[in-house]
Chain A
Amino acid sequence: MTYEKPLPQPNADTKPFWDGCKQHQLRFQKCRDCQHIRWPPSIICPLCYSHDTEWIVASGRGKIYTFAVYHQAFHKAFENDLPYVTAVVELEEGPHLLTNIVGCNPEEIECDMPVEVIWEDINSEFTIPKFKILAEPKGRS
């Protein structure tokens, strides 16, 4: 079946991120001077303006910072997914990532729920990072 949803549009700044997804890795830039992990990608650190940057691989775990539930599709390729959930996931490493929460009833979702990345390989070129709710909250005693 053809994939009809919009595809990622990598540019010079975001290509390393999407290349990482292809390897099932969430990659973010880390400032070698002040250690700040940044997203979206940029040529310099927004805090200390250093150019000295490395790409790190994030754990893929985080929590739901916020989310929205779509009850109507604004693009026909999303009609079959209704109701679907977009979310901002706060990763353990710090960055906030816009994504989808999948594999659960939207009514079960709450802010701050622990989540983990899952990978949707959509074609030979692109893999999309989505998230699922973790059954057991991490660090639960």
Chain B
Amino acid sequence: MALFGRHNVLLAMLLFAAVAPSLLNAYYVFVANTILIYVLLAIGLNILVGCAGQLAFANAAMFGIGAYGTGLLQVQLGWPFWLAFPSGAIIATTVGLALSLPALRLSGLYLALSTLAFAQFTQWVFLHWESVTFGAGGFKTPSISFAPLPVSKTLGLYYLSLLLVIILFFLAQNLMRSRIGRAFVAVRDGDIAAQSLGVDLLRYKALAFGISGFYAGIAGGLYSAMLNFVSPEGFDLFQMVIQKAMVVVGGLGSIAGSILGATALVSVLEALRAVKGFQEIVFGAILVSFIIFMPGGIIGFLKAKVRGWEEPLHRGPPGKRVPIATPSQSGEVRS
């Protein structure tokens, strides 16, 4: 097994994450928890945009729907967190599935625009449907307790997030290595040919949208619990751009890359927390630079230079593999 390959690096990150709360103060545990939440968002978004090639801009909206769903079910209907949390995720998933319908007729730019419009519409609902969503000021969510386990809310939520990240990471990785993952890539790389091989476009686009909705919904629920507060602010366009940037920086189409991208960018965001203007400039610059100079993202770089970072789309026994081109790298066709 390659020393600095994907397996070992991710394992090391996992071990660090597992002991982090004992090494970091409360504020940095909060940052680490934020990273975990963004890892989920990045994985879901990458499956939709990177693997299935759907240029959708609604992830931040689904993140918000998950957060609002979880929060409001607790606050307005008095549900306990353990019921509201999965329910919020289900609501976000359903919305994601609904978004796959326009995705059947539209692609590329038109899909981007319609999902963008939907996201703005969602923001508007969060802001103006005050009787339900409490409007611009947002609302507090009840503090959850992990009784009977003897852990504080901060710690409990952190390990819950970590556990969910581990589970959902493996699910995503298994998925991409199966006929479903290959169907996604087929839809991305040649949807007409994909259909001629029996890939039902509606089903697979819906699946991709639904999955990204689910991951975003889970992330949203965790987020609402972490902050104990939900407001429209956290789910706007800048949010969407951050998530896109994570996916690009990590590597479009790479599940492992989503982890790297999310970690890197949340850290940068943290470092620049003081001045919003600078955050925007740096983010924009990172996004543009990666697209022009490193379109394969960090993963693309690692796949080319370091052994052990391949991410095949099938399960077979590991053999000698040549790195697969990620969507933005142009391949050479020699004749």
- Mutual binders A and B: no
Residues on A lying within 8 angstroms of B by beta carbon are none
Q: Identify the B interface with A (CB < 8 A).
A: none
